Amino acid sequence: MTTVAISRCDNYELEEVSTAVKRCLNLIDNIETIVKPGMKVLLKANLLSASLGPERAVNTHPAVIRALVDIFMGDYGCKVYIGDSCGSLRTGSTDKAFRVTQIDKIAEETGAVIVNFDKDDAINITNKNAVILKDFKIAKTVKSVDVVVNVPKLKTHGLTRYTGAIKNMFGSIPANGKKNVHLLAPKNRSMAQALVDVFEMVQPHITIMDAVIGMEGNGPNAGDPRKVGLIIAGYDGVALDAVASTVVGFDPVKVPIIKYAHDRKLGTADLNEIDVSGEEISKVKVDDFKKPSSSAQDFASNYIPDFLLAKMFDNSCSCVSTVYEPNCTRCYECIRNCPAKAMSAPEGKVIVDEDKCIGCFCCDEVCNYKAIEMKRSFLGRAFLKMAVFLGVERLQ
């Protein structure tokens, strides 16, 4: 039986975070069999935004990164690397993300090494078991270190509904590579399979989740910070996602990314097979955590067979992007990040070609100003209204 540890962590004071992380590592036990002195340890952060500071709960908080650097360098005598590829495709965005999150200062103070995956050597990965993504490139450092520690942020997600351990490893793919995956898999279920294809080939050794302040509503960028007050850790990233998603009110087997990873035996999403240590889920659960509007699909799944539901939502309940002009600053991040080239600004104002839009949420992911609104079909809006009216979900 796999173990997932939950420790309360009331704030981002370094001492409190360090105590919570160490408690989790002790609870999952046997870390000394994985981490040994002199090893190279990569902290795979979640750096979606190159503009928003730690208070916005978009990126992994620097206090969690600092605590982990101190622990792996000080307690275990390891060489520590901190790496990621930012969600934005603007030139220099990943370097800027390291500055915005203050990780550059952490590296300067501790001697940890920053690895910008966009500048790292890329290596080819082939997944013979893949459903969507058989060949892709990842940053070389992900495979060249001895231990990968996945450090995701607990958030909702407009396309995948929830984002945590499994999805964070998608950042192993540098720069434009992620954009190409969205082109191959623009819909919820196809994207979930693609993310699991990646996760299968870059499974971390340990996952330590920043769930002190999570993001609710229409995450992963446009949602609202919400205190959860936890650090969650485990060796099995799928099990950790099952526990974390349950804490914020999801049924993990109805979150495609978790279900597919479980079905492909990359870990377990069955709570009966997970030893939850530290805090009980029932005592830390956030019952009124706001879901993204895509959770209407969860509501519909109670009444429609899965095979039919997939077709309905892919074909009838998909979204197209719209721009809420009052919030638009004309930074054009959405245009740079649109894989389908559906967005343009011929006269300065951003417009969307709905015939080209594939509803992949890439523009929504990188907009820091809540200027992107995803317009749903009639059927999608109907399920959403029904779910809210019946009180099944607290939706954004």
Write the DSSP assignment of 22-81 as a string of letters: HHHHHHH--GGGT--TT-EEEEE-----SS--GGGSSS--HHHHHHHHHIIIIIT--EEE
Tokens representing residue 128 in the block: 């013979």
Q: What is the H or E stretch that residue 311 is in?
A: helix 306-315
The answer to whether position 394 is within a domain reads: no
Residue with the bigger pLDDT between 319 and 57: it is: 57
376 close to 319: Cβ distance less than 8 angstroms = yes
**Strand 319-323 relative to strand 372-376, pairing:** antiparallel
pLDDT-derived band at 56 (thresholds 50, 70, 90) equals very high
- Output the domain CATH number for residue 202: 3.40.50.11440
**Are residue 177 and residue 57 in the same domain, yes or no?**
yes
Is the pLDDT at 316 greater than 50? The verdict is no
The answer to whether position 16 is within a domain reads: yes
Q: What is the value of pTM for the model shown?
A: 0.89
Cα(366)–Cα(59) distance, integer angstroms: 12
Domain count, the chain: 2
The fraction of the chain above a pLDDT of 90, given in percent, is: 74
**Are residue 70 and residue 139 in the same domain, yes or no?**
yes
pLDDT computed for residue 107 by the predictor:
98
The answer to whether position 396 is within a domain reads: no
**Are residue 317 and residue 266 in the same domain, yes or no?**
no
The answer to whether position 14 is within a domain reads: yes
pLDDT computed for residue 40 by the predictor:
98
pLDDT computed for residue 355 by the predictor:
86
**Are residue 268 and residue 321 in the same domain, yes or no?**
no
pLDDT computed for residue 386 by the predictor:
61
**Are residue 384 and residue 243 in the same domain, yes or no?**
no
Asked which of 284, 308, 335 is the last residue of a domain, the reply is 284
Is the pLDDT at 230 greater than 90? The verdict is yes
**Are residue 218 and residue 270 in the same domain, yes or no?**
yes
Is the pLDDT at 221 greater than 50? The verdict is yes
Cα(250)–Cα(266) distance, integer angstroms: 20
- Output the domain CATH number for residue 323: 3.30.70.20
Asked which of 238, 255, 284 is the last residue of a domain, the reply is 284
**Other beta carbons less than 10 A from residue 39's beta carbon:** 16
**pLDDT single digits (tens) 250-278:** 999 989 999 999 999 999 999 999 999 99
224 close to 217: Cβ distance less than 8 angstroms = yes
Tokens representing residue 172 in the block: 């192993």
pLDDT-derived band at 121 (thresholds 50, 70, 90) equals very high
The answer to whether position 201 is within a domain reads: yes
Segments forming the whole domain that contains residue 103: 2-284
List b or e across 336-368, with b for residues whose CB sees 16 or more CB atoms inside 10 angstroms: bbbbbebbeeeeeebebeeeebbbbbbbbbbbb
**Are residue 321 and residue 270 in the same domain, yes or no?**
no
**pLDDT single digits (tens) 125-161:** 999 999 999 999 999 999 999 999 999 999 999 889 9
**Are residue 129 and residue 259 in the same domain, yes or no?**
yes
**Other beta carbons less than 10 A from residue 331's beta carbon:** 17
The answer to whether position 358 is within a domain reads: yes
Asked which of 284, 305, 325 is the last residue of a domain, the reply is 284
Cα(277)–Cα(233) distance, integer angstroms: 10
Question: Taking residues 96-117, what's their average pLDDT?
Answer: 98
**Strand 343-344 relative to strand 113-116, pairing:** unpaired
**Are residue 116 and residue 228 in the same domain, yes or no?**
yes
**Are residue 248 and residue 365 in the same domain, yes or no?**
no
Residue with the bigger pLDDT between 186 and 138: it is: 138
The answer to whether position 304 is within a domain reads: yes
Question: What DSSP state is assigned to residue 365?
Answer: H
**Are residue 276 and residue 306 in the same domain, yes or no?**
no
Which residue is associated with the tokens 């928003």? 52
Is the pLDDT at 304 greater than 70? The verdict is no
395 close to 388: Cβ distance less than 8 angstroms = yes
DSSP E strands in 181-272: the ranges are 206-216, 224-234
**Are residue 325 and residue 237 in the same domain, yes or no?**
no
The answer to whether position 395 is within a domain reads: no
Rounded to whole angstroms, what are the CA distances from 12 to 55, 164, 247? 10, 19, 20
